[in-house]
Structure 1
Amino acid sequence: MHKTLIVIPARYGSTRLPGKPLIKIAGREMLLRVADIASDVCQHQAQCEYVVATDDERIVQLCEQNQVPCVMTSEHCSSGTERCYDVLQQLADKPDFIVNLQGDNPLCPPWFISSLIESWRASDVGEVFTPYVELTWQELDKLREVKKSTPFSGTTVQINKAQLALTFSKNIIPAIRKEANMRAASELSPVKRHIGLYGYTAKALEAYFSLPESTYESCEGLEQMRFLENEMAVKMVPVSYQGRTGMSGVDSPEDIERAEAIIASDGEYKLTP
């Protein structure tokens, strides 16, 4: 059985929310909520473990007090991906698959993570695994409105018939020439929104840091383009929020309020027993 390690990068410093991992959401520290998600997944997946990766003793202390596995990484790590790589370098018994679960994502549905792990185990093709959702026309209209004020929020992806990514963009792709006809034919638009959650084979994660920053990665500000531009297969995994309210990372006081409102409305995100 191949081994999976869920790495939770947790950086104390944040420009907008200093000490972000320790901020409480609905009475529980954000980082502990993310650790709960990882623990839930590990209880349902064979040969699966998780660990918090940080560079701050205050986060280490929180983890130790709550029996959460933790490892210290370099303070020079510039991204969650780099922190995952740092963890990989420290391990003598290396995992086969690494999931990068950001420490500021306390409402990541655990079934998204399980879907990545199960897709990797079942796939003959794919070095990077990442989820997406298909947008309804109503959701696409909402995304278009959001991009009028924040054009670089939200990433879309085009996918081939083998479920491999063709390209990612901060623009909404594809362009739709006969939109009225397509709206009449289906409730779903052809636009797929990428969810920023990644699973890598150990080989792919090692390769990422041996390659220079790529052209479209630099243009778009999307690190996954480095894999595509170097002809590494990025397998797209379809997921659904299952009727719950979707939310990505927490970056502001407003996000904290929104997260608490979602928890109050939807309850905790747990896999079914």
Structure 2
Amino acid sequence: MPGGERSAARALVVIPARHGSTRLPGKPLLSIAGRTLLERVLANANAAARLAGNCDIVVATDDERIADHARELGADVRMTSPDLDSGSARAFAAALQCAIAPDHVINLQGDAPFVAPDVIAGLIAALRSGSADVATPVYRLDWARLDRLRAHKQTAPFSGTTCVRDAQGRALWFSKTILPALRDEAGLRIADPLSPVWQHLGLYAYTMRALEWFAAAPQGRYEAMEGLEQLRFLENGWTVATVPVAAPDHALSGIDTPQDLVLAEDAIARLGDPFPAAAEQSPA
């Protein structure tokens, strides 16, 4: 069963970066507003490592082209098997290759260029200071964002994940359905500018013990139904801490299609480019 003592610990940010995406091949090497996707993610990771302290970064890939680009950017690289079926499995494989095993592993997907460094560092802090086995960020939706999520689910029902939390901020459940159901929604809208709905950002920090268990455990029943790997932990009694963060300005959670590249460049044009700020915070 999960549990165990925590200590101030060494963290490892792993950036899984595959070349063989079926919808967008070679996407870590593709450019968004003049910077490759991997360059943007790596800048955020570097800035987060500086904020957190005692933190290493590696790029985990199965492709020499991505490995070469990562090295050009100054990153450490770990080659992993192309047969691994998830970013979490690739993160565990990379962590096993470290000379000194990390205590905490952060799985920062290589197709998520808009995850803010303070969000990544906040997950590391949550594991270092608490008793959770896994930490992941969530943000509370205002009513306009909730209305947009509902409208989007009319055509894309499996986009957007919501989270129900207990009084201590531990995850009770995650779902592609919008949870909870809202009785007397009209009254709730009058009483509070924020809805009771929390949306999940797909970013995880694990204790090494929890990640090792995850990599060996079979897929859970509800995990398969919802398509949400974090449910494997909840189905088996592990503790998942949710870390509240600000709602992201750049709403794209990941880059999966050519259309997403266009949307990302449009967001940067409208809202500004977060890259310079992240790069300035990065360690030399």
TM-score range, shorter chain: over 0.9
Equivalent pairs, count: 271
Decide whether the 8 Å contact of 1:107 with 1:247 is kept in 2: yes
Decide whether the 8 Å contact of 2:141 with 2:247 is kept in 1: no
Decide whether the 8 Å contact of 2:132 with 2:240 is kept in 1: yes
Decide whether the 8 Å contact of 1:155 with 1:170 is kept in 2: yes
Is 1:167–2:173 an aligned residue pair?
yes
Is 1:137–2:143 an aligned residue pair?
yes
CA deviation string 1:8-31 (max 9, x = no partner): 000001111111111011111111
1:252 pairs with one of 257, 263, 268: 257
Structure 2 counterpart of 1:137, which letter? W
Decide whether the 8 Å contact of 2:12 with 2:95 is kept in 1: no
1:77 pairs with one of 84, 88, 109: 84
Cα RMSD over matched residues? 1.4
Which residue number corresponds to residue 19 of structure 1? Answer: 26
2:198 pairs with one of 192, 196, 216: 192
Decide whether the 8 Å contact of 2:88 with 2:215 is kept in 1: no
**How many Å separate the matches in 2 of 1:4 and 1:136?**
33
**How many Å separate the matches in 2 of 1:259 and 1:108?**
13
3-state secondary structure, aligned to 1:106 = coil
Which residue number corresponds to residue 3 of structure 2? Answer: none
**How many Å separate the matches in 2 of 1:172 and 1:48?**
35
Which residue number corresponds to residue 108 of structure 2? Answer: 101
3-state secondary structure, aligned to 2:218 = coil
3-state secondary structure, aligned to 2:114 = coil
Which residue number corresponds to residue 149 of structure 1? Answer: 155
**How many Å separate the matches in 1 of 2:247 and 2:223?**
28
Is 1:42–2:44 an aligned residue pair?
no
Which residue number corresponds to residue 15 of structure 2? Answer: 8
Q: CA deviation at 1:190?
A: 0.8
3-state secondary structure, aligned to 1:17 = coil
**How many Å separate the matches in 2 of 1:13 and 1:183?**
45
Decide whether the 8 Å contact of 1:108 with 1:247 is kept in 2: no
**How many Å separate the matches in 1 of 2:73 and 2:26?**
18
Decide whether the 8 Å contact of 1:107 with 1:259 is kept in 2: no
3-state secondary structure, aligned to 2:91 = helix
**How many Å separate the matches in 1 of 2:209 and 2:264?**
35
Q: CA deviation at 1:267?
A: 2.2
Structure 2 counterpart of 1:155, which letter? T
Change (3 A) 1:241 1:181: closer
3-state secondary structure, aligned to 1:254 = helix
**How many Å separate the matches in 2 of 1:40 and 1:11?**
22
Decide whether the 8 Å contact of 1:105 with 1:250 is kept in 2: yes
Is 1:233–2:218 an aligned residue pair?
no
Is 1:261–2:270 an aligned residue pair?
no
**How many Å separate the matches in 2 of 1:45 and 1:159?**
25
CA deviation string 1:190-213 (max 9, x = no partner): 111011000000000011123221
Which residue number corresponds to residue 128 of structure 2? Answer: 121
Listed as ranges, the gaps of 5+ residues in structure 2 are 1-7
Structure 2 counterpart of 1:54, which letter? T
**How many Å separate the matches in 2 of 1:69 and 1:230?**
34
Decide whether the 8 Å contact of 1:157 with 1:169 is kept in 2: yes
**How many Å separate the matches in 2 of 1:158 and 1:43?**
31
Percent of aligned pairs with the same residue? 45
**How many Å separate the matches in 1 of 2:268 and 2:37?**
13
Decide whether the 8 Å contact of 1:37 with 1:108 is kept in 2: yes
Task: State TM-score, norm by structure 1.
Answer: 0.95
1:52 pairs with one of 55, 59, 76: 59
Decide whether the 8 Å contact of 2:140 with 2:247 is kept in 1: no
3-state secondary structure, aligned to 2:14 = strand
Q: CA deviation at 1:121?
A: 1.6
